[in-house]
Amino acid sequence: MRLAVLASGSGSICDAMLQADIGVELVVVDRVCGVLEVAASHGVVALHHERPSFGTDFDRDAYTQHLVDLLQDHGIDLVVMAGWGTILGQPMFDAYAGHIVNTHPALLPSFPGWHGVEDAMAYGVKVTGCTVHVATLEVDAGPILAQEAVPVLDDDTVDSLHERIKTVERRLYVDTVARLVADPSILERARPPQVRPSPP
Protein backbone atom coordinates (compact mmCIF):
# COMPACT_ATOMS: atom_id res chain seq x y z
CA MET A 1 0.00 0.00 0.00
CA ARG A 2 1.39 3.37 -1.05
CA LEU A 3 0.76 6.21 1.41
CA ALA A 4 0.74 9.97 1.03
CA VAL A 5 0.87 12.28 4.05
CA LEU A 6 -0.86 15.65 3.73
CA ALA A 7 0.46 18.13 6.28
CA SER A 8 0.62 21.86 6.98
CA GLY A 9 2.48 22.38 10.24
CA SER A 10 5.68 21.57 12.10
CA GLY A 11 5.71 17.98 10.88
CA SER A 12 5.77 16.07 14.17
CA ILE A 13 3.12 13.56 13.07
CA CYS A 14 4.68 13.29 9.62
CA ASP A 15 8.07 12.65 11.22
CA ALA A 16 6.57 9.85 13.36
CA MET A 17 5.03 8.28 10.25
CA LEU A 18 8.31 8.42 8.35
CA GLN A 19 10.32 7.01 11.26
CA ALA A 20 7.90 4.07 11.44
CA ASP A 21 8.74 3.12 7.83
CA ILE A 22 5.16 2.14 6.93
CA GLY A 23 5.22 2.95 3.23
CA VAL A 24 4.98 6.73 2.96
CA GLU A 25 5.85 7.48 -0.67
CA LEU A 26 4.85 11.13 -0.85
CA VAL A 27 4.38 14.16 1.40
CA VAL A 28 2.22 17.08 0.24
CA VAL A 29 1.99 20.50 1.91
CA ASP A 30 -0.41 23.34 1.17
CA ARG A 31 1.96 26.06 2.41
CA VAL A 32 5.63 26.51 3.27
CA CYS A 33 6.09 24.79 6.63
CA GLY A 34 8.38 22.56 8.69
CA VAL A 35 7.04 19.42 7.02
CA LEU A 36 9.19 20.12 3.97
CA GLU A 37 12.38 19.82 6.04
CA VAL A 38 11.07 16.70 7.78
CA ALA A 39 10.40 14.97 4.45
CA ALA A 40 13.82 16.01 3.10
CA SER A 41 15.55 14.61 6.19
CA HIS A 42 13.97 11.21 5.45
CA GLY A 43 14.63 11.36 1.71
CA VAL A 44 10.92 11.32 0.86
CA VAL A 45 9.49 13.29 -2.07
CA ALA A 46 7.64 16.40 -0.88
CA LEU A 47 5.41 18.50 -3.10
CA HIS A 48 4.25 22.03 -2.33
CA HIS A 49 0.66 22.16 -3.59
CA GLU A 50 0.15 25.79 -2.66
CA ARG A 51 -3.28 26.96 -1.70
CA PRO A 52 -3.77 30.04 -3.89
CA SER A 53 -6.14 31.86 -1.60
CA PHE A 54 -7.54 31.84 1.93
CA GLY A 55 -10.37 34.17 0.93
CA THR A 56 -13.87 33.73 -0.43
CA ASP A 57 -12.47 33.35 -3.96
CA PHE A 58 -10.85 30.00 -3.07
CA ASP A 59 -12.07 27.30 -5.48
CA ARG A 60 -12.03 24.30 -3.14
CA ASP A 61 -13.10 21.71 -5.68
CA ALA A 62 -10.59 22.82 -8.32
CA TYR A 63 -7.78 22.83 -5.76
CA THR A 64 -8.86 19.40 -4.50
CA GLN A 65 -9.07 17.96 -8.03
CA HIS A 66 -5.52 19.06 -8.74
CA LEU A 67 -4.42 17.40 -5.49
CA VAL A 68 -6.22 14.19 -6.49
CA ASP A 69 -4.40 14.26 -9.81
CA LEU A 70 -1.04 14.57 -8.01
CA LEU A 71 -1.85 11.65 -5.71
CA GLN A 72 -3.02 9.44 -8.56
CA ASP A 73 0.07 10.30 -10.61
CA HIS A 74 2.11 8.85 -7.73
CA GLY A 75 -0.03 5.71 -7.40
CA ILE A 76 -1.24 6.57 -3.90
CA ASP A 77 -3.64 4.11 -2.22
CA LEU A 78 -4.12 5.69 1.22
CA VAL A 79 -4.23 9.39 2.11
CA VAL A 80 -3.09 10.25 5.65
CA MET A 81 -3.92 13.76 6.84
CA ALA A 82 -1.51 14.94 9.52
CA GLY A 83 -2.36 18.47 10.53
CA TRP A 84 -3.53 19.33 7.00
CA GLY A 85 -4.91 22.86 7.08
CA THR A 86 -7.26 22.86 4.07
CA ILE A 87 -10.70 21.29 4.13
CA LEU A 88 -10.92 19.10 1.03
CA GLY A 89 -13.71 19.15 -1.54
CA GLN A 90 -15.85 16.44 -3.10
CA PRO A 91 -13.28 15.26 -5.70
CA MET A 92 -11.09 13.78 -2.95
CA PHE A 93 -13.95 11.76 -1.51
CA ASP A 94 -15.01 10.60 -4.96
CA ALA A 95 -11.49 9.38 -5.76
CA TYR A 96 -10.42 8.04 -2.35
CA ALA A 97 -13.70 7.24 -0.56
CA GLY A 98 -12.96 5.21 2.56
CA HIS A 99 -9.20 5.55 2.02
CA ILE A 100 -8.54 8.89 3.72
CA VAL A 101 -7.69 8.96 7.41
CA ASN A 102 -7.35 11.83 9.83
CA THR A 103 -6.61 12.46 13.47
CA HIS A 104 -8.43 14.85 15.78
CA PRO A 105 -7.40 16.12 19.24
CA ALA A 106 -10.63 15.19 21.04
CA LEU A 107 -12.80 12.14 21.59
CA LEU A 108 -15.18 12.40 18.67
CA PRO A 109 -18.08 12.85 18.27
CA SER A 110 -17.46 15.40 21.02
CA PHE A 111 -15.73 18.67 20.13
CA PRO A 112 -15.28 18.41 16.35
CA GLY A 113 -13.72 21.20 14.33
CA TRP A 114 -10.64 23.37 14.52
CA HIS A 115 -10.81 24.09 18.28
CA GLY A 116 -11.29 20.65 19.82
CA VAL A 117 -8.85 21.19 22.69
CA GLU A 118 -10.11 24.68 23.54
CA ASP A 119 -13.74 23.55 23.33
CA ALA A 120 -13.13 20.57 25.62
CA MET A 121 -11.47 22.78 28.23
CA ALA A 122 -14.18 25.43 27.98
CA TYR A 123 -16.83 22.76 28.54
CA GLY A 124 -15.01 21.58 31.66
CA VAL A 125 -14.53 17.92 30.76
CA LYS A 126 -12.24 15.87 32.98
CA VAL A 127 -11.18 13.53 30.17
CA THR A 128 -10.52 14.28 26.51
CA GLY A 129 -8.13 12.56 24.11
CA CYS A 130 -7.59 11.88 20.43
CA THR A 131 -9.42 10.07 17.67
CA VAL A 132 -8.21 8.46 14.45
CA HIS A 133 -11.04 8.27 11.94
CA VAL A 134 -11.91 7.81 8.31
CA ALA A 135 -12.27 11.27 6.79
CA THR A 136 -15.50 12.17 5.00
CA LEU A 137 -16.81 15.29 3.32
CA GLU A 138 -18.42 16.24 6.63
CA VAL A 139 -15.55 17.35 8.88
CA ASP A 140 -14.70 15.00 11.79
CA ALA A 141 -17.76 12.82 11.17
CA GLY A 142 -16.39 9.63 9.62
CA PRO A 143 -16.10 6.14 11.10
CA ILE A 144 -13.86 5.96 14.17
CA LEU A 145 -10.83 3.66 13.87
CA ALA A 146 -9.13 4.28 17.23
CA GLN A 147 -9.37 6.49 20.30
CA GLU A 148 -7.35 7.06 23.44
CA ALA A 149 -8.26 9.11 26.48
CA VAL A 150 -6.11 11.85 28.01
CA PRO A 151 -7.04 13.25 31.43
CA VAL A 152 -7.50 16.98 31.87
CA LEU A 153 -5.40 18.11 34.85
CA ASP A 154 -6.44 20.86 37.24
CA ASP A 155 -3.54 23.10 36.22
CA ASP A 156 -3.79 22.44 32.48
CA THR A 157 -3.71 25.22 29.94
CA VAL A 158 -4.84 24.72 26.36
CA ASP A 159 -1.18 24.44 25.35
CA SER A 160 -0.17 21.94 28.04
CA LEU A 161 -3.19 19.75 27.38
CA HIS A 162 -2.66 19.90 23.62
CA GLU A 163 0.98 18.83 24.03
CA ARG A 164 -0.05 15.77 26.05
CA ILE A 165 -2.71 14.91 23.48
CA LYS A 166 -0.16 15.25 20.65
CA THR A 167 2.19 12.82 22.42
CA VAL A 168 -0.56 10.19 22.53
CA GLU A 169 -1.80 11.13 19.05
CA ARG A 170 1.56 10.52 17.36
CA ARG A 171 1.78 6.99 18.76
CA LEU A 172 -1.90 6.10 18.24
CA TYR A 173 -1.98 7.46 14.69
CA VAL A 174 1.17 5.64 13.59
CA ASP A 175 -0.02 2.38 15.19
CA THR A 176 -3.43 2.69 13.53
CA VAL A 177 -2.04 3.46 10.08
CA ALA A 178 0.40 0.55 10.44
CA ARG A 179 -2.58 -1.72 11.17
CA LEU A 180 -4.35 -0.42 8.05
CA VAL A 181 -1.28 -1.12 5.94
CA ALA A 182 -1.05 -4.66 7.35
CA ASP A 183 -4.79 -5.28 6.95
CA PRO A 184 -6.51 -2.96 4.42
CA SER A 185 -9.81 -4.77 5.04
CA ILE A 186 -10.13 -2.74 8.25
CA LEU A 187 -11.05 0.23 6.06
CA GLU A 188 -13.61 -1.83 4.16
CA ARG A 189 -15.24 -2.86 7.45
CA ALA A 190 -15.33 0.68 8.86
CA ARG A 191 -18.88 1.90 8.97
CA PRO A 192 -20.29 5.41 9.34
CA PRO A 193 -21.62 6.14 12.82
CA GLN A 194 -25.28 5.27 13.32
CA VAL A 195 -27.09 7.83 15.44
CA ARG A 196 -30.38 6.72 16.91
CA PRO A 197 -33.11 9.34 16.96
CA SER A 198 -34.16 10.67 20.34
CA PRO A 199 -37.47 9.34 21.63
CA PRO A 200 -40.41 11.73 21.17
Phi, psi values for residue 182, rounded to 5°: -70, -30
Contacts of range 143-148, beta carbons closer than 8 Å, 24 or more positions apart = 143/190, 143/191, 143/192, 143/193, 144/108, 144/193, 145/101, 145/176, 145/180, 145/186, 145/190, 146/172, 146/175, 146/176, 147/107, 147/108, 147/172, 148/172
Q: Which of 42, 48, 99, 104 is catalytic?
A: 104
Report the SS3 class of residue 63. Answer: helix
> Is there a catalytic annotation at residue 74?
no
> Among 168, 161, 172, 166, which residue's Cα sits nearest to residue 117?
161
116-to-33, 124, 164, 166, 198 alpha-carbon distances in Å: 22, 12, 14, 12, 25
How far is the C-alpha of 76 from the C-alpha of 67, rounded, in Å? 11
Catalytically active residues are 104
